[in-house]
Chains A and B, each alone.
Chain A
Amino acid sequence: MLLQQLVNGVMLGSTYALIAIGYTLIFGVLRLLHLAHGEVFMVGAFAGLQLVLLRHFGPLVALIGGLIGSALLGMLLELVAFRPIRRRGNSQLAPIVSTLGAGLVIQELMTKYFGAEQTAFPSNLHSLVYDLGFVTVTGTQLFILGAAAISMIILHQFVTRTRYGIAMRAASENIEVASVLGINVDTLILLTFAVASALAGIAGVLVGLNFNAISPYMGIDMGIKGMAVMLIGGLGSIYGAMMGGLILGMGEVLSVAYLESAYRDAFTFGLMILILIVRPTGLFRAGLNIER
């Protein structure tokens, strides 16, 4: 029973982690809060769903579709809502305002187009059930775990081995020095948005598969939780976001299992506020030095 809950926790946690990594990548490079990131996640879920519904593709194609859809939206947001503001000098409030606005627009457009109700997310994986003796996992669960794990491994390889990944890490240490060292900052930021949003898109499809339902309003909730996870892991820390996601996923699943389902969200935000008060730099490392 406990083990089964832990599997569920890891599954939920890994989708939180994917979203939080996106937040943290963008925060690392730009020191900005991206309030439309939850909507990017939601659009990824819908892009994946469309492929499943209209073309009867399997979950893997849906995953790739969600990834591409979200990445494109993320880059669009950077070009429309971030870049013009950066050109006009740095203000803390302006990007918050513009991403909040962009999020409202995306949400309403999606509601108009797909309707406000929840849509079922069909998948051919539900029928497969594997009994491993101590736990049973469905095909969907295996797919989610596998996809999340592979995405994180690829991301790790990307930020440690490739030129662009290393440039991204350099920029998150100090973007001005990075640009002096010959990194094209605009391209890099666009790339950061693409990677961050692609991860959110993957998470969108995975959440759709997991809960078997998506709605245009799912972005708000997940967006806020992703923010909580980023905070738990420490702003700007990729590995912190991974751990934070797992902690939050476990905590939520366990509090549903052993307390009451209503306490699930209370756990999340309680933990978040506690961390803000006690240790604003996050649990895992000194975090970035963000004064304002």
Chain B
Amino acid sequence: MLGSYWESVAIFTAINCLMGISLYIPMMAGLISLGQGGFMAIGAYVCALLTKGNVPFGLALCIGGGAAALAGVIIGTPALRIRGIYVMILTLGFGEIVRVFFATFEPAGGASGMGGIHPLTELWQVVLATAAALLLVWRIRHVRFGRAMIAIHEDDVAAEAMGINLTRTKLLSFTLGSLIAGIAGGFYAHQALFIDANQFDFMRSAVTFLYVILGGAGNPFGPIVGAVTVTLVPEMLRVVQDWRMTVFGSLLVVMAIWRP
């Protein structure tokens, strides 16, 4: 149907959509994470190690996502005591720690990376996961938890006064985001077939940030639009590919100035 090249592009696009959504969910509750690459790394490594041990892919994905979610709880708990800029620095530091950890973790190849991962990711799986995640963020606004997140984003003191459990809502949104990032990491590992710690560095987190901002942080389709644009446009236009970061970086500056 699709050529294998375009199929691979489609898979990476869908994975990037998942990453965009994973950042978007905590952002709905006003938590801005600059460490999504770290959660993705956890998912990727855990999942790849499991499938190497002949664990079925679906189960491995769940465990990988679960491990990332667990990290989300651990890092999210202190993040509740702090706000704004501190959360960003905290998540940024967390992402770096994860990178350093996997770069020195010998069972997973250490600095030389881990190869020989089975090619298990298929397009329909990633698309299905993305659709499910999208459905989740789309519907979440209509349930109590989602409304609570939005209320916190607007004004957390007022939200608390209205009886919203700040701690639980923030932590849950953060954990949900890291779960999705972990699953995206699992898909990524079984498509790229080779992973090393530097694939999940600050640039990964920064580009994830790019998806959400470019697509528009105001609605659930924003991260999808952003991820698709950022991933597909360079594939189609060679000029853009060569100057990718210059183009998207300038776009970020322009968007920051002209759109609130």
Whether A98 and B256, one on each chain, are in contact in the complex, defined by CB atoms closer than 8 angstroms, is yes
Residues of A within 8 A of B203 (CB): 220
Q: Which of A42-50, A86-94, A126-134, A205-213 contacts B (4 or more CB under 8 A)?
A: A86-94
Q: Which of B217-252 contact A (CB under 8 A)?
A: 217, 243-246, 248-252
Within 8 A of B (CB), among A99-130: 100-105, 107-109, 112
Min distance, Cβ B34 to any Cβ of chain A, angstroms: 9
**Cα–Cα, bound, A105→B250 (Å):** 7
| A140, chain B: closest CB distance, angstroms | 28
Does chain B have a CB within 8 A of A175?
A: no
Q: CB distance A101 to B90 under 8 Å?
A: no
Asked whether A81 lies within 8 Å of B250 as measured between CB atoms, the reply is no
Residues of chain A contacted by B103 (CB below 8 angstroms): 262
Stretch at the interface among A53-61, A63-71, A159-167, A223-231: A223-231
A104 in contact with B89 given A84-B257, A266-B101, A273-B94 (CB within 8 Å): no
A102 engages B249 (CB within 8 Å): yes
* Residues of B53-110 whose CB lies within 8 A of A: 78, 81-86, 88-90, 92-94, 96-97, 100-101, 103-104
From known contacts A262-B104, A280-B81, infer whether A224 and B248 are also in contact, taking CB-CB under 8 Å: no
> Is B260 among interface residues, defined by CB-CB distance under 8 A?
yes
Question: Which residues in chain A, 259-288, are within 8 Å of chain B measured between CB atoms?
Answer: 262-263, 265-266, 269-270, 272-273, 276-277, 280
Q: What are 30 A-to-B residue pairs whose CB atoms are below 8 Å?
A: A88-B260, A89-B260, A95-B256, A96-B32, A98-B256, A100-B209, A100-B252, A101-B248, A102-B249, A103-B249, A104-B245, A105-B245, A105-B250, A108-B245, A220-B202, A224-B93, A224-B202, A231-B89, A262-B103, A265-B97, A265-B100, A266-B97, A266-B101, A266-B104, A272-B89, A272-B93, A280-B86, A290-B85, A290-B86, A292-B84
